[in-house]
Chain A
């Protein structure tokens, strides 16, 4: 189902996330999981499968159905020294907790002049492409990246799902951990003890000489596929996986863009006011004299997430990416 995780023996991203939670809970008694249906059911995506059985209903807690209550309770737990990992059941159902997130989770360290850091990880199954009905497919990263005080992380590979979740739980700052739900079931070999780049570093998933596709999360496999298809057109595309939106790896992004001079940012969230706009602006400000073409964006449409039978028109696919690459003003191609 994904170019990164070809269907073969190995772990799914869902299993890697489950392993990360389990290992973190085994190593550190202060790690507590809470959310809706995370207990005996194991979460609607089974990411918390088996945690209540192993660690008991206090450390993997089925809460009442109330997102502000869940996150607000996690704030108090963190104030008392625990490391809560909150599961929001779906992207669009995290919105009731927005006030707790913006007014408290993101700001408590700052409000208390450094005395009450909140080591909370908020896991959000996010994005579309799974045929979900409305409110089950939102890409909400721009809301979070616009909120100082939050880290925003989006893994795209099985290894990163494990490594970045461990790093997020270990972080002394709150982390919004965006799980691309359409990549949950793709398989890949992964070694939990293999080193993973820390939060804040982008990774080049494919080298190239013509232009770079800058992306993250669920759009990574699409970009890799587009890069394969582009070869037929004579374009050799690099693919850069950001992995983390906050902190943002200006250094790597600028190094790659300067060396190639052409860049396309790809994400499935709506484009207007989205993270692609931020990335394009940053790249233009820093690499202007190295650019052979404007930085282009390929994003979802500026519409509420569409019904499943129409979602393929919304989601940026290979063709739209290749169209953008074609618009990069190739002086040697008519």
Chain B
């Protein structure tokens, strides 16, 4: 008889009480086998038409925003822009699932989610323009700065949600991540903390197929990214990330569950990045045209338009309004980014510490002297 002989176990009188006993039945935590869809299903009929129309409007404006921002990089007006073209459904649904008092923790690709949350579209681009690291007041708009180091914003979302719950405030935090980001340690630590603390936080992974050039198959061997939730003791949900009402529905449910004290949820949205990683990347080196073409058929804006029209929920008037709004925004972006911003070099010292250290004061005086000398030299040249 080997040690692992099953007969051995039949004589074990069950688990001893205490900290090591298994606690959770994993079955309810597991994601459904296929992603949740609303478009093209009977669920669409039951969806609030006002929400559907608002989602449509934001999708159209968001697509135009992505296009215009990409053009601005080509003109050198933005240093870089990681477009969310193809992922707009995730972005607008993320913002719309949150209440005004909730917090959003975006990554660098989530500018559109930030805009959809109500942040001024130009202020949302400050980081990518190169003027300052953040263009908006995070507390005022309850949106953390766009986060560049992958997954590091996820524990912040947990901490904030935890603090809000301790204060008795009905606040939920939503952290946005990419598929590549789920391999980072901070992602795992955040999920584990969230589940242990039962923090009111939702993690949305936008699985767009690639982390720069690396496809998901080289990133993770999990059955799905949503399955990762189960090991931490929270539900995992799988949703079609190009189906805006589906993402909205799944996120809204997760947000409300968190708000009601039900703890965190991990949502994986299956989507696709139609453009390159950023304007600086060449996607033809790592993926085939046929793949992109197939996903273009599943474009979130087209899907929405087709299904809302079929259901009689989209009229020419709304189409025209949304298109006009999109063009007006694009025109505003072009106009306001037409000139170089005036930046004050002395601001470099302003926000390192509450009070600059003596060392920073010294360096500030030195820079001030350099600037004064430059100005004097320029004045001399002009005379």
Contact = CB atoms under 8 A, between A and B. Distances in A.
Interface of A: 58, 63-64, 66, 68-69, 71-82, 84, 96, 99-100, 103-104, 107-117, 148-149, 151, 171-173, 200, 246-251
B186 interface: yes
B33 interface: no
B351 A79 contact: no
19 contacts: A64-B189, A66-B192, A72-B154, A72-B190, A76-B173, A77-B162, A80-B159, A80-B164, A109-B354, A110-B351, A111-B134, A113-B132, A114-B350, A115-B134, A116-B139, A117-B354, A151-B353, A246-B357, A248-B359
Contact of A99 (B186, B350, B351): B186
Nearest to B137: A115
B357 A79 contact: no
B359 A104 contact: no
A66 B193 contact: yes
Among B156, B160, B190, which residue has the most Cβ atoms of chain A within 10 A? B156
B158 interface: yes
B144 interface: yes
Contacts of A109: 351-354
Interface in B249-266: none
A148 B157 CA distance: 24
B152 A103 contact: yes
A104 B189 contact: no
Interface in B125-180: 132-134, 137-139, 144-145, 149, 152, 154-164, 166-167, 173
Contacts of A76: 155-163, 173
A176 to B, nearest CB: 13
Contact of A110 (B133, B155, B167): B133
A64 B193 contact: yes
Interface in B325-382: 350-354, 357-359
B184 to A, nearest CB: 9
Contact of B159 (A58, A75, A173): A75
B163 to A, nearest CB: 4
B204 to A, nearest CB: 17
Contacts of B145: 108, 111-112, 116
B351 A74 contact: no
B318 to A, nearest CB: 37
A149 B351 CA distance: 9
Nearest to A249: B358
Contact of A250 (B134, B149, B163, B358): B358
Contacts of B162: 73, 76-77
Contacts of A171: 354
Contacts of A108: 145
A109 B138 CA distance: 11
A69 B352 contact: no
Contacts of B160: 76-77, 79-80
A149 B356 CA distance: 10
Interface of B: 132-134, 137-139, 144-145, 149, 152, 154-164, 166-167, 173, 185-186, 189-190, 192-193, 196, 350-354, 357-359
B159 A247 contact: no
B148 to A, nearest CB: 8
Given A104-B152, A109-B352, A247 B158 contact: no
A109 B155 CA distance: 18
Given A113-B134, A114-B350, A82 B190 contact: no
A257 to B, nearest CB: 16
A231 B164 CA distance: 59
A77 B134 CA distance: 20
Among B144, B155, B358, which residue has the most Cβ atoms of chain A within 10 A? B155
Nearest to A248: B359
A83 to B, nearest CB: 11
B186 A79 contact: no
Nearest to B195: A64
A37 to B, nearest CB: 14
Contacts of B156: 72-73, 75-76, 79, 104
Contacts of B186: 68-69, 72, 99-100
A100 B159 contact: no
A126 to B, nearest CB: 22
Contact of B155 (A69, A84, A107, A113): A69
Given A112-B133, A113-B351, A200-B357, A74 B196 contact: no
B358 A74 contact: no
Contact of B192 (A69, A80, A113): A69
In order of increasing CB-CB distance, the 7 nearest A-B pairs are A76-B159, A72-B155, A69-B189, A76-B160, A80-B163, A73-B159, A247-B357
A248 B363 CA distance: 14
Given A64-B189, A109-B354, 18 more contacts: A69-B186, A72-B154, A76-B155, A77-B159, A77-B163, A80-B159, A80-B163, A80-B167, A99-B186, A108-B145, A109-B352, A109-B353, A110-B133, A112-B351, A114-B351, A115-B137, A116-B138, A249-B358
B114 to A, nearest CB: 14
Contacts of A78: 159
Contacts of B185: 66, 68, 96
A81 B169 CA distance: 13
A69 B193 contact: yes
A171 B357 CA distance: 13
Contacts of B158: 69, 72-73, 76
Contacts of A77: 159-160, 162-163
A116 B186 CA distance: 21
A43 B41 CA distance: 56
Contacts of B196: 63-64
A72 B357 CA distance: 26
B138 A79 contact: yes
B175 to A, nearest CB: 10
Contacts of B352: 109-110, 148-149
Among A69, A103, A104, which residue has the most Cβ atoms of chain B within 10 A? A69
Contacts of A96: 185
